[in-house]
Amino acid sequence: APLLLARVAQAIRQKQGEWLEAKQTPASFVLSTGDNLYGDATDDAFKQLEREMLDVVQLPFVLVLGNHDVAPSKYVWHTGRHGERGGRWICPGPAFRLADHLAAADTALVDITVINTNKLNGPIRRAPPGPAPAFYKSKDHGWWKEQKQSLERMLTARQDRWQIVVGHHPCEYVPLSTKEHGLPVVKWFTTTFMRGGMKSKQKRSGLAHILRRSADLYLCGHQHLFAAMKLRPSSSRRTAETRCAFVIV
């Protein structure tokens, strides 16, 4: 909605000004965790976004794809504009490494990796919404396993840097609420596929397990709430799987 976009843009610009006035490090880019487009994928929708957001906040915008963004027309709406606005619109595909698309100074201390978590959307169970050659080459359901394996290799290769992973769906649910999108119990369903089936749980090879032990922060959206969480060791959770912090925005 225009009013909401305008409010968010003004809040970002105000915070950026406060940081600069206090001689603190300002933001280098804006990151969306997905569900960027609820309406039709039209040029008018992009022009509205330009007026309300991109023209107000003069920073690169990094867009993660949510479940509302991966229908064919919406996927093209996002990725077809990659590199526009003087390189400020960053959405090259479903999964990518941010360092490949931002100046090295912007990610000097961390590796930020964007992944595709849209596994539950009907056709995407059988094929990914688009290519991400650094993460998977399969054009069928094998993309999910390949992405997990690629992500683990990337995370473990650079343990001298902070490892931040960004996706759309959460893999840890918020214990204070039983609802998601106003519906009870649904939140357990959406976190389950991130952990995998019984075999993945036994082998600790689900996407959630990889994040728990190899990332420092997993940032996501989808649930329309804000939460910051850290796991504790338990009888069913190894200490090594409590490394990652989880933030839902």
pLDDT of residue 223: 83
pLDDT tens for 177-235 read 655 556 665 666 666 778 887 788 788 889 999 999 999 999 999 888 888 999 998 88
pLDDT tens for 76-86 read 999 999 999 99
Q: Which residues 6+ apart lie within 8 Å of 174 measured at CB?
A: 187, 223, 225, 227, 229, 248
Confidence of residue 122 (pLDDT cuts 50, 70, 90): low
Give the Cα separation of 249 and 241 in Å (integer). Answer: 22
Tokens standing for 236?
């069913």
Q: What is the pTM of this model?
A: 0.91
- Phi and psi, residue 192, nearest 5°: -65, -45
